[in-house]
Structure 1
Amino acid sequence: MPHPTAPVTADDLDLAVRMAVATLREAPPRAWEAKAGSLEWDCWETVEHLSDDLFAYAAQLAPRTPPMDDEVPFVWESRRPGGPANAIHADRDAGPAGLLQVLDACGGMLSAVVRCTAPDVRAHHVFGAADAEGFAAMGIVEAVVHMYDLATGLGLPWEPPADLCARVLGRLFPDAPQDTDPWRTLLWATGRGDIPGRPRVTSWRWYGEPRR
């Protein structure tokens, strides 16, 4: 399936986050301490990490003059040895519903910033200075791939739309195969699965720089 040329949009990000939140609402209340797939974090920590990713991308793109050489200097810290280093942490007393509200809010922040950022604006990312479309695509990758980890840990079904995965692959993974299932290819490109005829990916990155 060739990668489409249609751009990745804030609406696509909204869809990915909305699907993630709706799926996570079905999680059993006692399942949040389970490991998230192959990660060393539990499912609660992984949702915090995903929320933090979305927040960080919004923060990176939002300044009047976005930084081009480093990240906006928020303090990222772990709550335990080996836990994710986040600026965003959910109040445990608010329970899973509060955690998902944090995720929804951070997704909304990024989509709002993407919508109001001019297409010629660039901001630093370690995988290449990106435009608003690039940050939207990065947010989608974080959402759908970490949802794969979470769905594994929580015992939930998860498969994002093929056309969404294909456009994200086209934007961030230009060397990925174009004739394979887009979702399986995105999992392969992020070191989480196999596709026939290709070696398993053990070290990966995306390319944030605009190519159009």
Structure 2
Amino acid sequence: MAEAQGSTSGPVTAADVDYAVRLALTALREADSADWSVKAGSLEWDCWETVEHLTDDLFSYAVQLSPADPPPATHVPFAWSRKRPGGPANAVFADREAGPAGLLQVLDAGGGLLSAIVRTTPSTVRAHHIFGAADPEGFAAMGVVETLVHTHDVAEGLGMDWTPPACLCDRVLARLFPDAPTDTDRWPTLLWATGRAELPGRPRLAKWRWDGTPRADRRP
């Protein structure tokens, strides 16, 4: 775990997924008695829905990589649905009767699935994503970004402080956002790159996307 916690260079790994999810769980467990039906930051979803969506992201990245022959141009056809109009379209939902503790256990399971698949999938594998066909490292980086920024959304909704380590932000910025500034604080830069904040001299982005393709696959 030392690389996940301290290094600002090197690839994004399954250990980074584990680390990001552990950090999120530790923070969100402090809000067990909070009202999870409030809006999650600037999103149209509430805090419960946002954690379900995050879990669904981690699950979907894992299952996209896991077939012996991943589909090159489409998602693995799990059935996605919405609990309400405007809510997130998920294949994974948590049992409301289990409360926030159960919701976070579902998140924990989703993180475990993704880290296990990333850890055991050859680096030569490519799987479809709308932001570029990615390798296991790319899906790990996506999972870390989803975890960090959606925990930010939920923490903002619940009135909590949330600042993940700069080293973790730096590695996912380098992997997924090659055009992001490199001379700014890492966490604010990740929030800027995902349309959640301004940076000095850089307005908040109305549209954003990452590039999940491996560097070796990118056209010059």
Q: Give the structure-1-normalised TM-score.
A: 0.97
Q: Per the alignment, in what secondary structure is the counterpart of residue 48 of structure 1?
A: helix
CA distance in 2, matches of 1:48, 1:5: 31
CA distance in 2, matches of 1:116, 1:94: 31
Does the alignment pair 1:91 with 2:95?
Answer: yes
* Equivalence for 2:149: 145
78, 84, 93: which one aligns with 1:80: 84
* Equivalence for 2:3: none
- Is the 2:34–2:158 contact (alpha carbons within 8 Å) kept by the matching residues of 1? no
- Is the 1:134–1:171 contact (alpha carbons within 8 Å) kept by the matching residues of 2? yes
* Equivalence for 1:120: 124
CA distance in 1, matches of 2:83, 2:204: 32
* Equivalence for 1:100: 104
CA distance in 2, matches of 1:28, 1:117: 35
Q: Per the alignment, in what secondary structure is the counterpart of residue 14 of structure 1?
A: helix
* Equivalence for 1:176: 180
Q: What is the deviation of 1:125?
A: 0.3
CA distance in 2, matches of 1:4, 1:198: 24
189, 200, 206: which one aligns with 2:204: 200
Q: What is the deviation of 1:191?
A: 0.5
Q: What is the deviation of 1:138?
A: 0.1
* Equivalence for 1:155: 159
Q: Deviations over 1:29-64 (max 9, x none)?
A: 242011000111110000000000000000000001
Gaps (5+ residues) in structure 1?
Answer: none
Report percent identity of matched pairs: 68
* Equivalence for 1:15: 19
Gaps (5+ residues) in structure 2?
Answer: 1-6
- Is the 1:28–1:154 contact (alpha carbons within 8 Å) kept by the matching residues of 2? no
Does the alignment pair 1:40 with 2:44?
Answer: yes
Q: What is the deviation of 1:156?
A: 1.2
Q: What is the deviation of 1:157?
A: 1.3
Could you tell me which amino acid in structure 1 is paired with residue 150 of structure 2? H
- Is the 2:80–2:90 contact (alpha carbons within 8 Å) kept by the matching residues of 1? yes
Q: Per the alignment, in what secondary structure is the counterpart of residue 86 of structure 1?
A: coil
* Equivalence for 2:4: none
Does the alignment pair 1:59 with 2:63?
Answer: yes
* Equivalence for 2:170: 166
CA distance in 2, matches of 1:4, 1:206: 19
Q: What is the deviation of 1:102?
A: 0.2
CA distance in 1, matches of 2:198, 2:49: 26
CA distance in 2, matches of 1:153, 1:9: 29
Could you tell me which amino acid in structure 2 is paired with residue 210 of structure 1? P
Q: What is the deviation of 1:100?
A: 0.4
